[in-house]
Structures are given as structure tokens and as C-alpha cells.
Amino acid sequence: MLIFSVDTSSRNGSLALAEAGADSFAVLEVVPLAGGTYSGRLIPELSALLLRHRRQKHELEAFTVVSGPGSFTGLRVGLASVKALADVLQRPVAAVSMLEAIAAQGSGRGLVIAALDAGRKEVYTGEYERRPDGELGAGRESLRSHAQLLALLESNPSAELITPDAEVGSSAGLHLRVKQIDWQDAGVIARLGLAKIRAGHTVAPEALEANYIRRSDAEIFS
């Protein structure tokens, strides 16, 4: 299965081409994308990626994409591109939350809290329960202030906090279980999306929507 994966949720965007067999998975290449260039670069970079690996567009068998949270404009570009490609090629799509991708990097059992800087002194948070088999259960995602995040940690002292943002990590105060990680690129998203595809948790192109968590300024001030 040849998979095209997209993350345009933040300034750390990327594309990836990955290949999966019955018992194998390999990321063939990850291409970084700078924020603000997504609309002009995404499709040309996909074409170049396929050319470098001597593949054709019709060989793409699945798509994975970050559905949120993050930049309103960035998410729209990524999702619209995947929608169009998946619709034309009639291929399955797996939508992956960046918070879920962050939480998946933990190793402890019990409550896992993924956190992302949301600007405006706020934090996107995802709360997941890691099962005994190591898999994450369904999560609850929300927008919190730094004070509210600290209160959540204080009420769950054994929870593992995972974040790629140093400022968020420092706001955890004296919480003992804080794991700082790198930003999760489109290769990681491809692996998580593949698990969803194999489990039958796919989204029809026309039903693919962004999960912004935060309302847009237009909605807030209308």
C-alpha cells in the first residue's frame, strides 16, 4: 500500500510518502514544508516526490492527513488537497489529530495528556487513557489556559504530559512526568493513519473536516 501523508497544521508542515505491506511499514521520504507556502507547494512537491520514487499518482492507495488542531488556513489547504486527490482516485482517507500523534509518543500507562501551544496564552490539550496493551483509548480534546492545564495536572499527579513546545512544558510547574518531544512529521502521521485504515476507521472525502477546537475570530466576534 502506497500512502501519501500530509501535515499543514502549523509552521512545521511536511509531506511524506510511505509504503506498507502485510507486516511492514517504511517511510520512503519526508519533505518539510514551511508555513505560508502550503497552497503553492503542496501539489508540486507531491509530483516531485512521486517522480523521485518512480511512482505514478494512480499508484497512491491511501491518504492520511492531520485534521487539527492548528492554523485555520493551513488545515484548510491540506484537507482540501487530500479531499480532491482522494475523490478523484477513489482512495480511503484517515484523519489524524496532531494531539493523538503526540500522545502516541508516550510509554507510560494510565492518563496521557498531549499539549500544544495555541497562542493567546492558551493550550490545546488531548486527554487519553493508555490501555494495558499500550494502545490509546478515545481522547477528549479541548482548549485551556496555562492555569487550567496546571490545574488538570495537579488533579492528575500520575498523568504523563507530552508536548513538543518548551513553553508548554515549562508551564507544567513541578509536575514530575513531563516528556518533551520533537514535532511529529507526516511520516509519523502515515503510520498512525495506516492503523486507522486497517481498523476501518476511514473518512469519505466529502465528510473530511477540520477539527479546529478553537473557534475562528469571525465566529467569536460575529
Identical topology for domains 2-98+184-221 and 106-180 = yes
The answer to whether the pTM exceeds 0.85 is yes
- Burial (0-12, 13-18, 19+ Cβ within 10 Å), 121: exposed
Phi then psi dihedrals of residue 36, to 5 deg: 95, -10
Show the CA angle centred on residue 210, arms to residues 129 and 45, nearest 5°: 110
Q: Rounded to an integer, what distance in angstroms lies between the CA atom of residue 208 and that of residue 65? A: 10
Partner residues linked to 29 by β-bridges: 17
Residue 38 has pLDDT above 80, yes or no: yes
State the cell numbers at 2.
502506497
Please state the rounded mean pLDDT for residues 14-36: 94
Question: Which residue bears the cell 466529502?
Answer: 206
φ, ψ for residue 54 (rounded to 5)?
55, 45
Say yes or no to pLDDT of 108 above 90. Answer: no
Q: How many Cα atoms sit within 13 Å of 183 on the Cβ side?
A: 15
Backbone torsions φ then ψ of 124, nearest 5 degrees: -80, 130
Please give the pLDDT value at position 219. 46
pLDDT tens per residue across span 126-135? 999 888 777 7
| Per-domain residue ranges of the chain | 2-98+184-221, 106-180
Q: What is the pLDDT of residue 109?
A: 80
Q: Which CATH number fits domain 106-180: 3.30.420.40, 3.30.300.130, 1.10.3720.10, 3.40.50.1000?
A: 3.30.420.40
Which residues make beta-bridge pairs with 10?
A: none
Q: What is the DSSP letter of 117?
A: E
pLDDT, residue 184, reads 94
What's the whole-number average pLDDT of the chain?
91
Q: How far apart are CA 36 and CA 56, in angstroms?
A: 27
Measured CA to CA in angstroms, residue 111 lies from 49, 84, 98, 146, 155 at distances of 38, 37, 17, 19, 12
Residue 69: asked if its preceding bond is cis (omega within 30°), the reply is yes
- Second CATH level (architecture) for the domain 2-98+184-221: 2-Layer Sandwich (3.30)
